[in-house]
Amino acid sequence: MRHAKKAATNWIQSDHQAVTKGQHDGHEGQSSRAGRIACTAHVATYTATQAAVLYAGSRVLGLRLKPGRVAAALALSAGTHWWADRRMHLKADPGELHLMQGRSWTSGPELREVYRLAA
């Protein structure tokens, strides 16, 4: 699924979608409507790519996935991806997010909590 996400975001997403999906009326020369349309188009191809890879993988591995659960998971993935790509909901400055990526999470209580919740 991780490779499906990369393919959908890096290869299938059009340049127009990538540039436009985060636009908002609050920024000069931008349009919220154009941003919503581009983001929705991107998320549709993103979700279709994930569905195709999931279907192919389940067939190859002989998995019997429940269609309702697959649809729910894809809908959740699509909704959160759309929400994040619209960018207006994220209050942190992109520069701050970049600094957070450099933080080491290899030790400390945060990582231990992640391991505890995953177990």
Residue 18 is predicted with a pLDDT of 86
Residue 4 is predicted with a pLDDT of 73
Do residues 35 and 20 lie in contact, with contact meaning Cβ atoms separated by under 8 Å? Answer: yes
Q: Quick one: how far is CA 15 from the chain centroid? A: 17
Q: Quick one: how far is CA 55 from the chain centroid? A: 19
Distance in angstroms (rounded) separating the CA atoms of residues 36 and 5: 20
Mean pLDDT per 10-residue interval, the chain, length 119 residues? 70 85 85 92 94 92 93 94 80 49 52 54
Closest CA to 74 of 63, 85, 65: 65
- Over residues 80-96, the pLDDT tens digits come to 999 988 877 655 555 54
In sequence order, which residues have a C-beta less than 8 Å from that of residue 86 and are 6 or more positions away?
A: 21, 22, 35, 36, 39
* Cα atoms in the Cβ-side hemisphere of radius 13 Å centred on 98: 3
Q: Where are the domains of the chain?
A: 2-90
Residue 42 is predicted with a pLDDT of 93
Distance in angstroms (rounded) separating the CA atoms of residues 47 and 99: 29
Residue 31 is predicted with a pLDDT of 87
pTM over 0.85: no
